[in-house]
């Protein structure tokens, strides 16, 4: 797995080969950033922003954000093996100082977050619907900046009810993946 753009362009990220962790494909990641850069519906930019990467796994999205100029990325994942590999990736790339890593139950940990994030990325397992509770917690605790965007990676066929929490501004499909961009309403 490689970093697509920025000061780490071309560097590789180690990833887990197991049925639990599903790395975000390069093509999907590249398209997410193209939309962030070029969409007239999204005003939030990666450069100098604070990122929340939920269900981060080995951190490919957050690492790409750092490479493209993000100020800081907060990574959350419950899988200890994924978090250990994420930490190794951050150390190998010399960007550990731009990150916070939490290996804990996401629902419980979000309650204690005090930062405000510009970009909130959720990449839960495709069968998981608990991420909607995460959205509710983020919204309730107002841990997002006024100029924010929420990005959710889901399986193309999922039909999640996000309207109670988000105003959807754009949805794109890439193979099996569906990427949803929204803002809290």
pLDDT grade, residue 21 (50/70/90)?
Answer: low
CA diameter of the chain: 41
What pLDDT, on a 0 to 100 scale, did the predictor assign at position 26?
85
Residue 23 in this model has a pLDDT that exceeds 80:
no
pLDDT grade, residue 19 (50/70/90)?
Answer: low
CB 136 within 8 A of CB 163: no
- What share of the chain in percent tops pLDDT 70? 97
The CATH H-level (homologous superfamily) assignment of domain 26-184 is: Vaccinia Virus protein VP39 (3.40.50.150)
What pLDDT, on a 0 to 100 scale, did the predictor assign at position 125?
87
Using one digit for the tens of pLDDT, what is the confidence trace for 50-65? 999 999 999 999 999 9
pTM: 0.94
Using one digit for the tens of pLDDT, what is the confidence trace for 78-125? 999 999 999 999 999 999 999 999 999 888 889 889 999 999 999 998
What pLDDT, on a 0 to 100 scale, did the predictor assign at position 97?
98
């Amino acid at each position: 797995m490689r970093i697509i753009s920025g000061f780490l362009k071309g560097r590789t990220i180690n990833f887990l080969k197991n049925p639990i962790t599903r790395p975000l494909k390069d093509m999907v990641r590249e398209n997410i950033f193209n939309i962030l850069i070029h969409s007239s519906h999204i005003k939030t930019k990666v450069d100098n922003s604070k990122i929340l990467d939920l269900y981060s796994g080995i951190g490919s999205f957050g690492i790409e954000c750092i490479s493209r100029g993000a100020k800081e990325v907060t990574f959350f994942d419950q899988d200890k093996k994924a978090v250990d590999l994420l930490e190794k990736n951050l150390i190998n790339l010399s960007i550990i100082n731009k990150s916070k890593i939490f290996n804990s139950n996401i629902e419980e940990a979000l309650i204690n977050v005090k930062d405000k994030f510009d970009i909130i990325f959720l990449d839960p397992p495709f069968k998981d619907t608990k991420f909607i509770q995460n959205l509710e917690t983020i919204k309730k605790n107002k841990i997002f900046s006024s100029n924010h965007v929420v990005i959710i990676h889901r399986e193309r066929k999922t039909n999640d009810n996000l309207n109670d929490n988000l105003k959807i501004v754009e949805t794109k499909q890439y193979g099996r993946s569906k990427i949803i961009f929204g803002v809290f309403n």
